[in-house]
Structure 1
């Protein structure tokens, strides 16, 4: 059977969905308007349900499950109807911390990863800088050895969870120019010299922060180095596969929500004496989007399976992110258009959904970068 969802996967999906619909969705509009949310409480509750350590081992309090359980979790969590809160949670569980589980020392896992699984610490991923986003090899934030410490100087930007994180999985330059001089370190945010700069005013995902971060002669012990020095570019590229895959899964569920909303609205809203959804132009457009959604889901599930088997997932993950996230822009645009004037009013969820989904073709590697990766694999015969 494919996808190989069992009753246990369905139960975890239902658990995540119930939590999202009960604790997040009713508050989504208010949190979005306020630009803040009760992050500590939500993370604590997720930890109590065991949902912050799905793929992490029992030694750090996790459940030791597989990528299909993560898929079920993302699908259930999407019912929060708040792209920002969902993103903040997934940064914590699937972007900033997997690399700790994969290459961290046991000491690092107990100091940083285990508290995340317990809901006691929140993590952020610090890669993007004012002069580099997808061009990771251009990172300029430096970490220079001084005795048993690294002294860190530089700036990061567009960092989700930057204002609330207890630590950052931070990309720094420890060597020469280019990709061969980059390392990853674990950076506690209570380190002297660290400061949060502007909280950026964004188009979407407005419930959560995205910040500028400043590092001014910040000292951390060299034991906070993740893996090998100057091997950080490889680690980041590996870590990107999970980040891009959850972006594709998020796009798919966003489309499912939007299409469901559009069909319901179009069945009730009348124009010229009949429901809007009964006009051929909308029936055909929605039918086309439903078919495309299934194609996106099939491609993304193939990428999940590649992650699960341990084969190199890069080409399939890049295709899944490219196709699903680009498709989401078109699908949700049309769903908003079907709403007419209501689609421009904040009381309808489609408005927030349209804002939030825009990030998916940008964050974690732009669609243009995904095309470059897919073509590179094609040239290599992959």
Structure 2
């Protein structure tokens, strides 16, 4: 179904991005999956194209494009033709905006140019062994020592954890306050900051994920983002965009699985006819096509709302819930239509099945999304 939110400039940009992804990312993807990480040159190459932090002001080297649709196009094309484990969206749309929104002029001038060029790779460290979706339950602490903060604790499941040059770390700054949290820019080489081994995951083979450790890490006051007691509020402000970004990836993945399956069932034969001609195949694909188009329309409207700064937390939770759940359903149904071939690594649908499972967990589980939506409806038993 035609998507009405894009104009001619967007489509020209999509054509350009597709050529770049097909020519520069796709040929290197297998090597990244085997290595367990994306090489640093790929980040610099992406920066040279202007594809990192496209929203950043020109004074720092950015394009100054305040239109999420360009990021949407970039991520859709990378999912379809490139490598989903290349976490450009984490760098550009999840971590860097904290610096852009809450950083001082000095912090922006110091950090943003390298992030835009790809010389500085970003990660965010929120999740702890005992605190995932409940960010207010984090245990890592930061103590004010006058001219610096002292960080102690650990983080886990950190994407870009091995290759990041700067990690945005959330830590408790007010011991007796559930929401007294600060955000700190921890740089590679700071004494006491170390990384564990690469964590072995079910999927996303090219995406490096690690544990991070902080033992008496001295973080200068110049590396604190905004008010050191308001980090929780800052994180809540960024969650809508994080969930919207994840939704773009999920639906692009689901659409890609659908397209690959359409090709396969029209070529593969059984009992003297193509698999696609069976009634079961027609009905399955018809159902998935209808659901994909419906959710895509909702997602595109959420993008427009976000461009107008009107995307609420509960609507972001709705689209994250719908897209991640639909991604799981579509890829599962499509793998079934591949039959035994779908269980083989040589077929992309097999890898997509593994990659997709995390999307119902990260950026808030499906269960947490339902809680957010339900409470907005007034169905919160704590109010009784």
Common topology (TM > 0.5): yes
Gaps of 5+ in 2: none
The structure-2 alpha-carbon separation of the partners of 1:30 and 1:340, relative to structure 1 and needing over 3 Å to count, comes to: farther
TM-score by length of 2: 0.95
CA shift, 1:23, in A, is 1.8
- CA distance in structure 2 between the partners assigned to 1:50 and 1:27 by the alignment: 20
Aligned to 1:45: 45
Deviates more, 1:151-160 or 1:290-299: 290-299
Aligned to 2:180: 181
Question: Residue deviations 1:307-326, cap 9 Å, x none?
Answer: 11112421221111000100
- CA distance in structure 1 between the partners assigned to 2:212 and 2:287 by the alignment: 43
CA shift, 1:83, in A, is 2.1
Aligned to 1:73: 74
CA shift, 1:178, in A, is 4.7
CA shift, 1:180, in A, is 2.2
CA shift, 1:6, in A, is 1.8
Aligned to 1:265: 264
- CA distance in structure 1 between the partners assigned to 2:183 and 2:287 by the alignment: 44
Aligned to 2:11: 10
RMSD, aligned CA: 1.7
CA shift, 1:139, in A, is 1.1
CA shift, 1:198, in A, is 2.6
- CA distance in structure 2 between the partners assigned to 1:2 and 1:281 by the alignment: 28
Structure 2 residue 234 is the aligned partner of structure 1 residue 254? no
Gaps of 5+ in 1: none
Deviates more, 1:29-38 or 1:231-240: 29-38
The structure-2 alpha-carbon separation of the partners of 1:26 and 1:2, relative to structure 1 and needing over 3 Å to count, comes to: closer
Q: Is the Cα–Cα contact under 8 Å of residues 54 and 62 in structure 1 kept in the other structure?
A: yes
SS at match of 1:144: strand
- CA distance in structure 1 between the partners assigned to 2:23 and 2:182 by the alignment: 41
Q: Is the Cα–Cα contact under 8 Å of residues 199 and 211 in structure 1 kept in the other structure?
A: yes
Q: Is the Cα–Cα contact under 8 Å of residues 131 and 137 in structure 2 kept in the other structure?
A: yes
SS at match of 1:363: coil
The structure-2 alpha-carbon separation of the partners of 1:227 and 1:368, relative to structure 1 and needing over 3 Å to count, comes to: same
Q: Is the Cα–Cα contact under 8 Å of residues 244 and 316 in structure 2 kept in the other structure?
A: yes
Aligned to 1:121: 120
SS at match of 2:158: strand
Q: Is the Cα–Cα contact under 8 Å of residues 53 and 61 in structure 1 kept in the other structure?
A: no
- CA distance in structure 2 between the partners assigned to 1:52 and 1:82 by the alignment: 16
Question: Residue deviations 1:30-79, cap 9 Å, x none?
Answer: 432332332x1111111111000211111221112111222222222223
Q: Is the Cα–Cα contact under 8 Å of residues 20 and 78 in structure 1 kept in the other structure?
A: no
TM-score by length of 1: 0.95
Aligned to 2:299: 300
SS at match of 1:370: helix
Q: Is the Cα–Cα contact under 8 Å of residues 343 and 350 in structure 2 kept in the other structure?
A: yes
Q: Is the Cα–Cα contact under 8 Å of residues 244 and 317 in structure 1 kept in the other structure?
A: yes
Count of aligned positions: 378
CA shift, 1:249, in A, is 0.4
Question: Residue deviations 1:187-236, cap 9 Å, x none?
Answer: 11211111101311100001121100000100111121111121111111
Aligned to 1:161: 160
CA shift, 1:2, in A, is 7.2
CA shift, 1:272, in A, is 0.8
Aligned to 1:108: 107
Aligned to 2:29: 28
The structure-2 alpha-carbon separation of the partners of 1:312 and 1:273, relative to structure 1 and needing over 3 Å to count, comes to: closer
Deviates more, 1:169-178 or 1:319-328: 169-178
Deviates more, 1:117-126 or 1:299-308: 299-308
- CA distance in structure 2 between the partners assigned to 1:116 and 1:8 by the alignment: 25
SS at match of 2:179: helix
Q: Is the Cα–Cα contact under 8 Å of residues 53 and 93 in structure 2 kept in the other structure?
A: no
Aligned to 1:191: 190
